[in-house]
Amino acid sequence: MFSDVSIEILDDHKRSIKPPWNDLKFGHHCSDHMIEIHWDAERGWLRPQICPVRNFSLHPFAKVFHYATEVFEGLKAYRGPDGLVRVFRPELNMKRMRLSATRLCMPDFDGQEFLQLIKKLLTIDNEWIPPYETKASLYIRPTMIAIDETLGVSPATKVILYVVSGPVGPYFSTGFQPVSLFADPKYVRAWPGGSGDRKIGANYAPTLFVQKEASKEGHQQVLWLYGPDHQLTEVGTMNIFVLLKDNNGKLQLITPPLEDGLILPGVTRHSLIELVRSWNEMDVIERVITMKEVESLINENRLLEIFGSGTACIVCPVGQISFLGKTLKVPETSFALRLFNELLDIQYGVKPYNNWVHIIQN
């Protein structure tokens, strides 16, 4: 499907100047080349291109502008201490992107062939991947948009599948600091039967207002709740974990389940569950957890830690939650930091683990 690729590489003197590796703002720097693949209902997928980054020329009627017919992914490439470049579990991103596309009636594609194109792009833009000692990485953004030149709520008959990338700095550039959460039950991110478990642009724009409200109150992130029992679902754009002791003093790591469609199936979430289970130190349980239970755990001194997980941060500790006029102080232990360091070492190739990384061969 994508094996026959057209490649156009910039001359060296036309390439962009690299930013300082120690001053990388997320999403502000773009590498030199991109992948672009067109599809239409009559011909299917056309020949892929790897070409210099360029703007698209789209008709004002393009469906992506009006009906948010768009899906995307986010993954990273890391340069290890041995100089080799690794991508962390990209096959899971390909699987999730195909599910997202299906949810929006967009065309399916061969995930393995698309991944090979991404690897080819990384070899071409290898110099954009920061050195290991910076603890920076290259963020990769696959995206699919509907570009039909007609109005009307209907499945796309023309799309562009493309990939751009750019270097990003470490999430915790000033240290592993806990965040404060704003939890207001009147705001809902996702609901059963909706599309909250898919990575589509329409899930993100409605959260901006709530994030702004949280910032006004001095909080860094939103804790998204659902239902009359105030179930914990996600933290900002991250999955959430709760470390606690049960009534017998046994450790449990709790994270909300995926079955009801409220939760995005995060690659980092999936990896942390597998990693902690392999340690055999505690039970890892996917179940509903509510704010009432969190309050009880705090009062009984059985709550040990709450943290979020995602591609950008890996693990993000929580220090407090503002909920219904109360400020709930969340204890801190070293478990989140341990997970952060462990997964970071795997991603950079310091600790090989279960073939979780794909090495990019130059």
pLDDT tens track for 91-149: 999 999 999 999 999 999 999 999 999 999 999 999 999 999 999 999 999 999 999 99
Domain ranges, ordered by start, for the chain: 6-170, 179-346
Q: 3-class DSSP state for residue 308? A: strand
338-349 mean pLDDT? 97
Q: Residue 120: in which H helix or E strand, if any? A: helix 111-124
Specify the pLDDT at position 84.
97
Amino acid at 65: F
Specify the pLDDT at position 173.
59
**How many whole angstroms separate alpha carbon 115 and alpha carbon 94?**
7
Other C-beta atoms closer than 10 Å to the C-beta of 184 total: 17
**How many whole angstroms separate alpha carbon 107 and alpha carbon 1?**
13
Specify the pLDDT at position 362.
73
Amino acid at 113: E
Specify the pLDDT at position 13.
85
pLDDT tens track for 197-218: 999 999 999 999 999 999 999 9
Specify the pLDDT at position 174.
58
| Averaged pLDDT of the chain | 96
Other C-beta atoms closer than 10 Å to the C-beta of 302 total: 16
Query: Is pLDDT at 291 greater than 90 in this prediction?
Result: yes
CATH fourth-level superfamily of 179-346:
D-amino Acid Aminotransferase, subunit A, domain 2 (3.20.10.10)
pLDDT tens track for 6-62: 999 999 888 999 999 998 999 999 999 999 999 999 999 999 999 999 999 999 999
pLDDT tens track for 254-284: 999 998 899 999 999 999 999 999 999 999 9
pLDDT tens track for 5-18: 999 999 988 899 99
Query: Is pLDDT at 361 greater than 90 in this prediction?
Result: no
Other C-beta atoms closer than 10 Å to the C-beta of 93 total: 23
- Residues present in the chain in total: 362
**Phi, psi torsion values for 162, nearest 5 degrees:** -140, 165
- Among candidates 70, 50, 46, which has minimal Cα distance to 58? 70
Pick the CATH number of 6-170 from 3.40.50.10320, 3.90.850.10, 3.30.470.10, 1.10.10.10: 3.30.470.10
Specify the pLDDT at position 89.
98
Q: What DSSP state is assigned to residue 266? A: -
Q: 3-class DSSP state for residue 71? A: strand
Fold equal for 6-170 and 179-346: no
Question: Are 158 and 147 in contact, with CB atoms under 8 Å apart?
Answer: yes
Question: Are 77 and 129 in contact, with CB atoms under 8 Å apart?
Answer: yes
- What tokens were used for 175? 């240290």
- Among candidates 279, 281, 278, 273, which has minimal Cα distance to 257? 273
Q: 3-class DSSP state for residue 237? A: coil
**How many whole angstroms separate alpha carbon 241 and alpha carbon 254?**
6
Q: Cβ contacts of residue 49 below 8 Å, gap of 6+?
A: 5, 6, 7, 8, 35, 36, 37
Q: Residue 162: in which H helix or E strand, if any? A: strand 158-168
pLDDT tens track for 144-189: 999 999 999 999 999 999 999 999 998 765 568 899 999 999 999 9
Question: Are 303 and 296 in contact, with CB atoms under 8 Å apart?
Answer: no
Amino acid at 88: F
**How many whole angstroms separate alpha carbon 77 and alpha carbon 28?**
17
- Among candidates 210, 337, 189, which has minimal Cα distance to 256? 189
Specify the pLDDT at position 332.
87
Residue with tokens 């809902």: 188
Specify the pLDDT at position 2.
72
Share of the chain above pLDDT 90, in %: 92
**How many whole angstroms separate alpha carbon 355 and alpha carbon 168?**
24
294-312 mean pLDDT? 97
Q: Residue 321: in which H helix or E strand, if any? A: strand 314-323
